[in-house]
Chain A
């Protein structure tokens, strides 16, 4: 427990330092809203990863993977190839140039200026205003539950404390603070997930052996009146299993 607390305090110390660094480097609106339109590629990629791979991805999709099994990997492949690779290469530069030409600082402003429509701008802003807090709440719940289980903290105190910490560095430091802290958190996540994958497969005796154990569990798949149910998850662990 002592080690957990010390590590947690060290983590918070780094987060506060990076938030302070972001605050010091924020001088104008472009810095606050767009990180000066220029950020280190490693920071951007880790920040993107940390933002995308949030509580919903690790815990939520972890649960979905337990339910649907390996077929969920198609979602992973399309997310990486289409949602990241093709999107960044095909649309990244164009989006940046349009943003510069239109001199916009937010996505609703970008849409509104591009299509010269106040309605589009306001509607996009309203959608973000309504639904981002819900998403953020899900992420904060995940963090608070983790702290409740790991450190024995009261759930309400944990969620209020985390929210306060986030509010401090996001409001004062803007996008630079957010990206620096995200990059730190994303780096930790990348390393730990790699360790988790390697450790899990090594416990199972290797990649092929691990998958074979899963294949051997196929008879445990519950029978269903829907033939397609056997091809997904537990609802079946792999695809194309014979039903019945």
Chain B
């Protein structure tokens, strides 16, 4: 638990680092991935 007194704190510590690495890894994996083209129709709610 890297010197932290409780499991909850160690969990928060490692999950913070893990989520940061997840973001970086996902960004590298999907680098400049434009995805599907921008062609959508948006249902617009009734005008007031």
Question: A210 near B3 (CB under 8 angstroms)?
Answer: yes
Q: State the Cβ distance, B19 to closest chain A Cβ, in Å.
A: 4
Q: B6-46 toward A: CB 8 Å interface, digit per residue (1/0)?
A: 10110011011001101100110001100100101110111
Q: A36-51 toward B: CB 8 Å interface, digit per residue (1/0)?
A: 0000010001000000
Q: Which of B4, B31, B38 contacts A215 (CB 8 A)?
A: B4
Question: B9 near A70 (CB under 8 angstroms)?
Answer: yes
Identity of the chain B residue whose Cβ is nearest the Cβ of A115 in the assembled complex: B45
Chain B hits for A71, CB < 8 A: 8-9, 12
Q: State the Cβ distance, A100 to closest chain B Cβ, in Å.
A: 5
A114 at the interface (CB under 8 A from B): yes
Q: What's the Cα separation between A137 and B23 when bound, in Å?
A: 30
Q: What's the Cα separation between A76 and B13 when bound, in Å?
A: 9
Question: A97 near B6 (CB under 8 angstroms)?
Answer: no
Identity of the chain A residue whose Cβ is nearest the Cβ of B9 in the assembled complex: A70
- Contacts A77-B15, A114-B44, A115-B45 given: A239-B6 contact, CB under 8 Å? yes
Question: A101 near B20 (CB under 8 angstroms)?
Answer: no
Chain A hits for B32, CB < 8 A: 41
Q: Which of B13, B27, B41, B48 contacts A45 (CB 8 A)?
A: B27
Question: A240 near B6 (CB under 8 angstroms)?
Answer: yes
- Contacts A77-B19, A81-B15 given: A101-B40 contact, CB under 8 Å? yes
Identity of the chain A residue whose Cβ is nearest the Cβ of B40 in the assembled complex: A97
Q: What's the Cα separation between A100 and B40 when bound, in Å?
A: 9
- Contacts A41-B31, A81-B19 given: A101-B41 contact, CB under 8 Å? yes
- Contacts A41-B32, A77-B12, A116-B47 given: A70-B4 contact, CB under 8 Å? yes
- Contacts A115-B45, A211-B3 given: A85-B40 contact, CB under 8 Å? no
Question: B23 near A80 (CB under 8 angstroms)?
Answer: yes
Q: State the Cβ distance, B12 to closest chain A Cβ, in Å.
A: 4
Identity of the chain B residue whose Cβ is nearest the Cβ of A40 in the assembled complex: B32
Chain B hits for A211, CB < 8 A: 2-4
Chain A hits for B5, CB < 8 A: 215, 218, 238-241
Q: What's the Cα separation between A114 and B44 when bound, in Å?
A: 6
- Contacts A70-B12, A215-B5, A241-B5 given: A98-B42 contact, CB under 8 Å? yes
Q: What's the Cα separation between A84 and B21 when bound, in Å?
A: 12
Chain B hits for A117, CB < 8 A: 48
A223 at the interface (CB under 8 A from B): no
Q: What's the Cα separation between A224 and B2 when bound, in Å?
A: 28
Chain B hits for A238, CB < 8 A: 4-6, 9
- Contacts A77-B16, A84-B23 given: A100-B4 contact, CB under 8 Å? no
Residues of B within 8 A of A (CB): 2-6, 8-9, 12-13, 15-16, 19-20, 22-23, 26-27, 31-32, 35, 38, 40-42, 44-48
